[in-house]
Structure 1
Amino acid sequence: MENKVGNRWLVVVGAVMIQLCLGAVYIWSLFNQPLIDKYGWDPAGVVTTFSITIFVFAFFTIIAGRIQDKIGPRWVATAGGILLFIGMFLASKATTLTQLYIYYGLIGGAGIGTAYVCPLATCVKWFPDKRGLISGIAVAGFGLGGMLFKPIATHFLTIYDVSQTFMYLGLIYLVFVVLGAQLLKNPPAGYCPPGWTPPQDAGKGGSGVDFTPGQMLGTYQFYLLWVMYLFACTAGLMVIGFAKDIGTQLVGLDALIAANAVVIIALFNAAGRIVWGTLSDKIGRTTALMAMYILSALAMFYMSKVPMNYTTFLIACSAVGFCFGGFLGLFPSLVADYYGTANMGMNYGIVFMAYGTAAIVGPRIGASMPFTQAFMVAGILCVIALVLTFLVKAPQPKNA
């Protein structure tokens, strides 16, 4: 019974504490100009730090996922918080771009990836009755992290230089990630919430079987899911990475006004993770995915072909952020449905590499051609992903 194993919602509290800090990675753009002003570094080189961080973050979810599947989430998440602090501390001492890449990008990104997968894998195990909702809540904190830490970092930058800001932010991350990690623990084997009976069909199209990472890689569904995730995140990260520039260059807005899109995207990003996750529990993951790809494609085609004003620009950005958050909230549930929860940490870590790849592909597409053309490419990718959803079915174990 739940009253004998503790309150499962405490795990959610710990998950949100961790994810709020990890999601602060999205405030990197605040550091670009201060670093350029202080060291005279190449602007493109400074911006590259963000792509390195996201890629390393995604890669380390695989390693951390494997470890937390074996020893549990608490110590792995704790290690992630410590690693993130070390990266931030060393970044505060960096005097070359190479050092920044290693300290913030490699070490800091490794810390984020190490801690990130633990709340997701743990929450999904505690809430088999609400997988979509709980995955959404667990990752909504990551989406809100940028909003929470933007004013904090901005305040630090007004009274300290950028190096000191890295130090103080690192200390905050250390405290709250480590505290949140202490609330993470796996449920007892075979745990079921009181009053809930596992459905005979293993849920919304689920397989009802725990796959090892090797078995997952042996299914065609994995490769379809990976490509679908890649295309979804490519479109979202393209707009997120260039939201301010799109507003100034394409819509003709003042830089300060265009920056409002960053806040709007963050809000709808967080909301989408919860709303789409909850909706997918009711209508099924595939149906929810189809709706998100359609909305994403329409937003991209609209931004590509229709002249925008301030209002329509924000509406389009809202739609993109809403769906982007939904994809990040829904795919963990989909992986759990298809491949079980026993190896959820590593299995989702492998799928999540699609996000890390998109962090490189999306901005590259946005930077290599006019925004209108880039949006058209992203819209086409969303249409292709929509078609792939018709081909995805729950995998069946070979010995079934």
Structure 2
Amino acid sequence: NYRWIILAVCFFTITFTNGLTLGGLVVFDRELLDYLSEVTGGEVLRQELKLKDAITLWSTAVFAFIAGIIIDRVGVRALMISGMFLLSATFYFYAQSDSLADMYVIHIFQGMVLSMSGMVINVVLISKWFNDNRGLAIGVLLAGTSVGNGIFPQINTYLLTISDGDWRQVMIWLALIPLAYIPVLFAFIKEKPEDVAVKEDNQTSNDFKASSIEGGFTLQQTLRSANFWFLSVMAFCTFYSILAMIGHVFLMLDGEGYSPQISATGVSIIFIGGFIGKVISGKLAEMIGRKIVLVGGVAMMLLGSLLIVSSIFYKNPLLIWIGLMLYGTGWGGLYTLIQLLVADLFGLIAIGKIMGVINIIDTIGGGLGPIITAVIYDSTQNYLLPFLVISALLVIALISSSMLKIDDKAIEQSR
């Protein structure tokens, strides 16, 4: 069945785009701080370095809605291939960069990559290909973000080790990965089931197309829905929280005296948990209820955050590792549900535009997370207060998720 080939290709696409631009880059922070401090002749603050992470996500927000319009009108294939070419170019020019300003410009283009080949475009494609088993498919797809963000910190740390800390050489090596993957996208990506002569589990592609149209919301109707805003507030708060943690856990553990490999493992633990949460949550939501799984994911993330805060008080490493695993697992579950609920609550008519708007909101939060955490750290020289801010935002997310109105029976009947 061709839709599973589509899922596999999208899985690896999102593994590379997210892993290379987000999780994989944090292990370069120590080398970049040292290099930039050396060339400027003064200390480079973490908030200055972490601004590049925020720029990536804010750039994604700027281009997300435009990408959504293009997706709805002309499809995904050309965008995905162009995004991979651009991703390769960003790593090539990263290796040539000599200043923070150079890096800031590169991260603008990495944000474009996430709009062209990242989460939104892949979720839209999978939603078009999967009517039944959509929850499972989206969960498996989004597990790719955890795989990428989990393995690339380890890969990049290893590459830094064998290159004697030559981060420029490692960037050149990484530029080859998206180039090698472009032929796969060209060969296997199809826009919709009608493009291949197959039938989808007891439904023809025409049946699929009809069911996708019925009950769909326009963008204007969606913006008037309370569910949209509850979902958006939750997305904003949780994206702030996850990207603040991802962006700083390596530096936090490094500051506690852990080796680079152990510090990178802290990042990987979040994404291992995220992988587990993403794989099981989509199908589980369709079995026991979307709201139960969603609220449970936010609650688990909040509990993990509180354990990490406690570890700062009590200097207990066990609390850090347990907290990071809960944090990542909860995030994975709710992240899948956000994408699933966009299709389930608002339909497929304008899914590209709707996901583009939500992507603008959540990436603004995600961009603020690392930079505000860095600003607070630079002023306090401690991660306690910024992590308390994360916990407070997760309380808001928990309240917002509990206010969503979700009728599982009506959703299943509309498919």
* TM value normalised by structure 2: 0.82
**Corresponding residue pairs, total:** 381
TM-superposed CA distance for 1:253, in Å, is 5.4
Alignment counterpart, residue 219 of structure 2, candidates 208, 213, 234: 213
Unaligned runs of 5+ in 1: 1-5, 198-205
Match of 1:34 among 17, 31, 36: 31
What are the superposed Cα offsets for residues 350-374 of structure 1, whole Å, 9 maximum, x if unpaired?
1122331222332244331653333
Amino acid at match of 1:144: V
Q: Is the CA contact (8 Å cut-off) linking 2:26 and 2:250 kept in structure 1?
A: no
Deviation of residue 15 (structure 1)?
A: 0.3
Determine if the alignment matches structure 1 residue 378 to structure 2 residue 380: no
1:280 counterpart residue number:
285
CA separation in 2, counterparts of 1:382 and 1:314?
Answer: 19
Residue-by-residue CA offset, 1:271-296 (whole Å, 9 max, x unaligned): 21112222112122211111112222
Query: Is the 1:64–1:115 Cα contact (8 Å) retained in structure 2?
Result: no
What is the deviation of 1:189? 6.1
> 2:114 pairs with 97, 112, 115, which one?
112
Equivalent positions of 1:226-245 (< 5 A) are 226-245=232-251
| Aligned-partner residue type, residue 399 of structure 2 | V
The partner residue of 1:315 within 279, 304, 322 is 322
* 1:346 aligned partner: 353
Shift of 1:268: 1.0
Deviates more, 1:107-116 or 1:49-58: 49-58
Contact 1:237–1:362, Cα closer than 8 Å, also in 2? yes
Counterpart of 2:366 (choices 340, 359, 367) is 359
User: 67-76 vs 370-379, which deviates more?
Assistant: 370-379
Counting only pairs closer than 5 Å after superposition, residues 21-60 of structure 1 correspond to structure 2 as 21-23=16-18, 24-25=20-21, 26-39=23-36, 40=39, 42-44=44-46, 45-60=48-63
User: 2:11 aligned with 1:8, yes or no?
Assistant: no
Classify the secondary structure of the residue corresponding to 2:188.
coil
RMSD after superposition: 2.9
2:207 is matched with none
- Per-residue CA deviations over 1:324-361 (Å, capped at 9, x if unaligned) read 12222221110001111232222112112233122233
Aligned residue type for 1:269 = G
Give the aligned partner of residue 262 of structure 1: 267
In the TM superposition, residue 377 of structure 1 has moved relative to its aligned partner by: 3.0
Does 155-164 or 213-222 show the bigger shift?
155-164
Could you list the runs of 5+ residues in structure 2 that have no partner in the other structure? 205-211, 411-415
Name the structure where helix makes up a greater proportion of residues: 2
Among 286, 292, 299, which residue is 2:304 paired with? 299
Correspondence for 1:222: 228
State the identity %. Answer: 25
Matches within 5 A, 1:93-132: 93-102=96-105, 104-116=106-118, 117-132=120-135
The CA deviation at 1:255 is: 4.1
Structure 1, 372-381 or 64-73: larger mean CA deviation: 372-381
Taking structure 1 as reference, are residues 196 and 283 closer, same or farther at Cα in structure 2, changes over 3 Å only?
farther
Determine the structure 2 residue equivalent to 1:159. Answer: 163
Tell me the TM-score normalised to structure 1 length: 0.85
Q: 1:108 to 1:383 in 2, by over 3 A?
A: closer
SS in 2 for 1:28: helix
CA distance in 1, matches of 2:213, 2:74: 25
CA distance in 1, matches of 2:218, 2:183: 29
The reply on whether 1:85 has 2:88 as its aligned counterpart is yes
For 1:164-183, list aligned pairs within 5 A: 164-177=169-182, 179-180=184-185, 182-183=187-188
Q: 1:81 to 1:73 in 2, by over 3 A?
A: same
Instruction: Tell me, yes or no, if the aligned pair for 1:86 and 1:107 is still in contact at 8 Å.
Output: no
Q: Partners of 1:313 and 1:61 in 2: how far apart? A: 34
CA distance in 2, matches of 1:261, 1:333: 28
Residue 328 of structure 1 aligns with which residue?
335
Letter in 2 for 1:33: R
C-alpha distance in structure 2 between counterparts of 1:239 and 1:163, whole Å: 26
What is the Cα deviation at residue 243 of structure 1?
1.5
